[in-house]
Copies of this chain bind each other. A is one copy, B any other.
Amino acid sequence: MGVCHTAHGSFQTPAFMPVGTQATVKGMTPEELEGLGAEIILANTYHLYLRPGHERVRRFGGLHPFMHWNRPLLTDSGGFQVFSLNSLVKVSRNGVEFQSHLDGSRHFLGPEKAIEIQQALGADIIMCLDECTSYPATQETAEQSLRITLEWARRCQEAHRAPEQALFGIVQGGMYADLREKSAEALIQIGFDGYALGGLSVGEDKDTLFRVVAHTTPLLPEDRPRYLMGVGLVEDILEAVQQGVDMFDCVLPTRNARNGALFARFGKIIIKNAKYADDPFPVDPDCSCYTCRNYSRAYLRHLFLADEILALRLNTIHNLHFYLQFMRELRQALAEDRFGCFIDAFRARVPGESLRDPREEDELGPSPSQRGRAHFSQKQSCALAQPNLLKNL
């Protein structure tokens, strides 16, 4: 538990960052995000570089005034999207050549360029360009990929000029413990304002994911934020917080909302299901969000089936509230030194049903709650997350 201070105010950790890919968290106004308790959000450099263009955003004084968000903001480096949204990429030591997914135009992204773009976008926290090691990868491939990532990290740190922007390094190394160690050590030697775990949640099973998290997180400085990129479900966040992770981002709450999958403490509601057609109850009768206070499952189902914009809004409000409320309760438990009880209570209220995206069912194997139970029971004790306090970032 801690507080991170930035040029646009502070945010508490452990923090969940709603994803605002194109300079907007889909469907939400900044005021609504603030009302939901979002203290920091993420925007995607790749998308904003292509459209509307970082130079344009720079002329507006950066993303904050452009998108009317006046709180902490993080941009990724663009690397992950370059690799995941493009089939035609050419990686060299200098950077990566890729085609725009919008119009096929060719572009080049190197470490210096990634910093230049992110400086123009003006986020409070910016990320080093990294090569996200594919999965599965041989040790040799992972090592080669790591070598590039470390060189880029050094060059990003050299190119970094804006003192009001915190620069985070990204640990890579595939699923190999020794490479993760090497990566962490090298990054710490360069010295960054925070450290991220990258190259995870890329198709590996959950045990592998958390083996890497458990191995890598303790290697990172306790007084700097540790950020697990792209994770995940609240049960995954819970487990990662136990390992000492401070920051998270994931599209799950917002994307699931738009797909009509709504999180609740007792499981997940697929709102289009016929069983909700006449259901007068809110999504979660214990939830205090705007959606649950005012609308029935039946009405939400109607809006969703009718392709109404309001469906996307109300669903997004609910799912973001679910995540951000979870983070508030988690921080409260940490502050009151009762994290173990929090974990027990969490497991008790998530029975057999999974909270995860049903479309991922096949890829990920057994349900997280089942897996979670087995995993937790193997532990000797549920060690508390090490509080990370970062002042005047």
Instruction: Identify which of residues 28-68 in chain A touch chain B, using a CB-to-CB cut-off of 8 Å.
Output: 28-29, 47, 51-52, 56, 59-60, 66-68
Count contacts on A: residues with CB < 8 A to the other chain.
35
In the bound complex, residues from chain B placing their C-beta under 8 Å from that of A308 are 22, 24, 26
Inter-chain contact B26/A306, CB cutoff 8 Å: no
User: Which chain B positions have C-beta within 8 A of A60?
Assistant: 280, 296, 298-299
B310 pairs with A27, CB closer than 8 A? yes
Chain B residues within 8 Å of A290, by CB: 29
How far is A309 from B59 in the complex, measured between Cα atoms in Å?
A: 24
Question: Which residues of B sit under 8 angstroms from A28, Cβ to Cβ?
Answer: 310
The distance in angstroms between the C-alpha atoms of A52 and B277, with both chains bound, is 8
**Given known contacts A59-B278, A309-B313, A312-B309, is B52 in contact with A298 (CB within 8 Å)?**
yes
Residue ID in chain B nearest A66 by CB atoms: B299
- Given B22, B52, B309, which contacts A26 in the complex, CB threshold below 8 Å? B309
Tell me if A278 and B51 are in contact (CB < 8 A). no
Asked if A310 and B26 make an inter-chain contact with CB atoms under 8 angstroms apart, the answer reads yes
Tell me the A270-284 residues at the B interface (CB within 8 Å). 277-278, 280
Contacts of A302 in B (CB 8 A): 22-23, 51-52
Q: List 30 A-B residue pairs with CB atoms under 8 Å apart, sorted by A's residue number.
A: A22-B303, A22-B306, A22-B308, A23-B299, A23-B302, A24-B303, A24-B309, A26-B308, A26-B310, A27-B310, A28-B310, A29-B290, A29-B310, A29-B313, A51-B306, A52-B302, A56-B298, A60-B280, A60-B296, A60-B298, A60-B299, A66-B296, A66-B298, A66-B299, A67-B299, A68-B294, A68-B295, A309-B309, A309-B313, A313-B313
